[in-house]
Amino acid sequence: MSSPPATTTAPAPRGAIARVLTFERLKWASFAHSTVYFGLLITWALGLDGIKYWLGWAHGIGWILMCIATVLALHARVITMRIAVAVAVIGAVGPFVGSYEFVREQRRRTRRAAAVTGRYSQGSDGS
């Protein structure tokens, strides 16, 4: 009797933090932060100082909150180190990178789940 091949998947998310800071919630928070940053770039280009001021504050505070959430989610194994670096380090000057990494990771997870499902969907006789 042989056992199924070992997989190299990351450990499952753990703890109460993982129930609050889910991958989907963090992904959408990253998209929201990217939207604020895009608005900041537009208002800067158009010289709209009033709204630019508030979007600047929203971006700064949003980035700090994203950093805190990212560290907690990384500790709870909700996200990978690659996403954490993209959000926390690169996110200060370009939050689009963090949003891209969430999309990339979601596609990778979807492909992996499809591969695992396909691998073990056959009957025990190989049919």
The H-or-E segment that residue 29 falls in is helix 23-46
45: pLDDT strictly greater than 60: yes
Six token digits for residue 100: 């891209």
Q: pTM of the full predicted structure?
A: 0.74
- What's the confidence (pLDDT) of residue 122? 54
- What's the confidence (pLDDT) of residue 127? 46
- What's the confidence (pLDDT) of residue 93? 81
Query: Across all residues in the chain, what is the average pLDDT?
Result: 85
118: pLDDT strictly greater than 70: no
Six token digits for residue 13: 């998310």
Q: Average of pLDDT values for 49-68?
A: 94
pLDDT in tens, 60-97: 999 999 999 999 999 999 999 999 999 998 888 888 99
The answer to whether residues 98 and 90 touch, using CB atoms and an 8 Å cutoff, is: yes
